């Protein structure tokens, strides 16, 4: 198989220690609102393949349709595919399309880049939130994209497949 990887802007440091969880994507230089900070790479796989490779995939996957994902399928690909965009209930990044991540506002050097997982996830899981934001939801559910206040807040910054499901356009 040919190699696969994700793109990270040279204005970012990938894998830095995170104040939220594990490792993160951190700004090295000022980032302008609307600027591309990362593009998710990986193998395009269906749900069955994702399940069959769960131990390798880890949390490297990004859902791009109801049945398709981008993910690492080998340990050798994992680090190259990971973006380390942690969740925040007050994110500074959003989605453009399906796999492009852009700054929602000006981001200062040293700031951790974050996304609200509601913009990309559609599953049955629940995650305890550690973002520390004033508006923290405490529990992040895999179907938070259905919340009207989040649809109003993020609108066109939801992943394409969730915008379609939510009736927010294409």
- Measured CA to CA, the distance from residue 157 to residue 149 in angstroms comes to 14
Residue 2 has pLDDT above 70, yes or no: no
| Domains of the chain with bracketed CATH | 7-165 (2.170.270.10)
What's the pLDDT tens digit per position in 117-168?
999 999 999 999 999 999 999 999 999 999 999 999 999 999 999 999 999 8
Distance from first CA to last CA of the chain, Å, rounded?
32
- Could you give the dihedral angle defined by the CA atoms of residues 2, 59, 62 and 96, in that order, rounded to the nearest 10 degrees? -110
- Coarse DSSP helix, strand, coil percentages of the chain, rounded to the nearest 5 percent: 25, 30, 50
Residue 1 has pLDDT above 80, yes or no: no
- Measured CA to CA, the distance from residue 62 to residue 69 in angstroms comes to 5
Residue 44, pLDDT score: 96
Residue 91, pLDDT score: 98
Residue 169, pLDDT score: 85
Angle at CA of residue 135, ends 17 and 22, nearest 5°: 15
According to the 3-state scheme, what is the secondary structure of 132-156?
CCCCCCCEEECCHHHCHHHHHHHHH
Residue 170, pLDDT score: 80
- pTM value is 0.95
Which tokens is 12 given? 């970012």
Which tokens is 156 given? 């066109």
**Partners of 100 in beta bridges:** 39, 96
Residue 37 has pLDDT above 90, yes or no: yes
- Measured CA to CA, the distance from residue 151 to residue 156 in angstroms comes to 9
Who wins on pLDDT, 29 or 54?
29
Q: How confident is the model at residue 59 (pLDDT cuts 50, 70, 90)?
A: confident
Residue 31, pLDDT score: 98
Which tokens is 6 given? 């994700």
Q: Give residues with Cβ within 8 angstroms of 154, minimum separation 6.
A: 94, 116, 118, 119
What's the pLDDT tens digit per position in 73-112?
999 999 999 999 999 999 999 999 999 999 999 999 999 9
What's the pLDDT tens digit per position in 20-32?
999 999 999 999 9
């Amino acid at each position: 198989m040919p190699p696969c990887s994700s793109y990270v802007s040279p204005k970012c440091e990938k894998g830095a220690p995170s104040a939220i969880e594990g490792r993160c994507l951190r700004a090295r230089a000022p980032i302008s609102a609307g600027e591309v900070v990362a593009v998710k790479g990986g193998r395009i796989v269906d749900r069955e393949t994702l399940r069959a490779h769960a131990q390798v995939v880890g949390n490297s996957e990004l859902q791009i349709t109801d049945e398709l994902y981008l993910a690492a399928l080998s340990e050798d690909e994992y680090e190259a595919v990971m973006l380390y965009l942690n969740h925040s209930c007050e994110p500074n990044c959003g989605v453009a399309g399906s796999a492009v991540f852009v700054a929602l506002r000006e981001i200062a050097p040293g700031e951790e880049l974050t996304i609200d997982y509601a913009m990309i996830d559609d599953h049955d899981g629940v995650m305890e939130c550690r973002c520390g934001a004033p508006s923290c939801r405490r529990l992040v559910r895999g179907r938070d994209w259905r919340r009207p206040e989040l649809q109003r807040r993020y609108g066109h910054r939801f992943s394409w497949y969730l915008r379609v499901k939510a009736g927010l356009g294409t």
